[in-house]
């Protein structure tokens, strides 16, 4: 199956999923409505979280390399909120990608799909993008994840130690490591090893 076909199946399987619990945990750190804080949704997928951010008063830059992902987000966002949402079709591995100064960089299950060769550069751009006092929130995959087998050149996996090192000099507000069997959207049960992380850049 092509990459496009794989992601199309993923979007269809997740139709109507709503925002993820991790996102709701993150939103507990903010007022119910903010006034124009800048968020970057890196690898926005079907756009559920981008849309919710816009509803809560965030300005959102939604980035994905799949046109279908952005089409789905466009279909969700009413015209009244469209001025709050910018969409950019580009791979986050593309060295020409620029990120604005951001109060939040949100990367839900997207960063593991960056190749190890490109990850250090991407991570430096993320770190530089987050304003002092701003946050990163997202997931990394661990070295024991089932997808680590055969994907070492195309995906990035971390140990607990290398995951935490990424946030050197940051305040780690939430760090949850999970390893176990859980379903996927389209491939049945798999062995997951992942880190849910919320971290704040020092002021």
Residues paired with 32 in a beta bridge: none
Instruction: Return phi, psi of residue 27, to 5°.
Output: -65, -20
- Compute the chain's Rg from CA coordinates: 16
DSSP helix, strand, coil percent of the chain (3-state; round to 5):
30, 30, 40
Predicted confidence at residue 8, as pLDDT, reads: 61
Whether the Cβ atoms of residue 69 and residue 45 lie closer than 8 Å to each other: yes
* DSSP-derived secondary structure letter, 147: G
Write down the residue that tokens 């550069």 correspond to. Answer: 121
Q: Per residue in 79-117, pLDDT tens?
A: 999 999 999 999 999 999 999 999 999 999 999 999 999
Tokens of 136: 């990163």
Task: Name the residue ranges covered by the structural domains of the chain.
Answer: 36-90, 96-203
| Calpha distance 132→48 (Å, rounded) | 26
DSSP symbol at 169: T
In terms of DSSP H, where are the helices of 42-189? Answer: 48-55, 67-76, 119-129, 160-165
- CATH 3.40.50.150 is held by the domain 96-203: yes
φ, ψ dihedrals at 128, nearest 5° = -70, -30
pLDDT of residue 181: 97
The predicted structure's pLDDT at residue 203: 80
pTM score above 0.85: yes
Closest to 12 in 3D by CA, of 71, 81, 95, 82 = 71
**What are the residue ranges in the chain where pLDDT is below 50?**
1-2, 4-5, 7
Q: Centre a 10 Å sphere on the Cβ of residue 173 and count the other Cβ atoms it contains.
A: 15
């Amino acid at each position: 199956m092509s990459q496009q076909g794989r992601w199309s199946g993923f979007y269809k399987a997740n139709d109507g999923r709503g925002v993820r619990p991790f996102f709701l945990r993150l939103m507990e750190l903010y007022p119910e409505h903010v006034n124009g804080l800048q968020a970057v949704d890196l690898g926005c997928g079907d756009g559920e979280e981008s849309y919710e951010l816009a509803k809560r008063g965030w300005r959102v830059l939604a980035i994905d390399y799949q046109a279908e992902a952005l089409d789905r987000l466009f279909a969700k966002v009413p015209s009244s909120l469209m001025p709050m949402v910018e969409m950019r079709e580009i791979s986050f591995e593309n060295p020409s990608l620029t990120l604005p100064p951001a109060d939040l960089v949100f990367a839900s299950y997207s960063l593991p799909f960056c190749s190890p060769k490109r990850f250090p550069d991407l991570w430096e751009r993320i770190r530089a993008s987050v304003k002092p006092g701003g946050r990163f929130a997202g997931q990394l995959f661990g070295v024991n994840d089932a997808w680590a087998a055969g994907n070492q050149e195309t995906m990035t996996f971390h140990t607990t130690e290398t995951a935490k090192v990424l946030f050197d000099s940051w305040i780690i507000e939430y760090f949850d490591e999970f390893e176990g069997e859980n379903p996927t959207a389209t491939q049945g049960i798999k062995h997951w090893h992942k880190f849910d992380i919320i971290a704040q850049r020092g002021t």
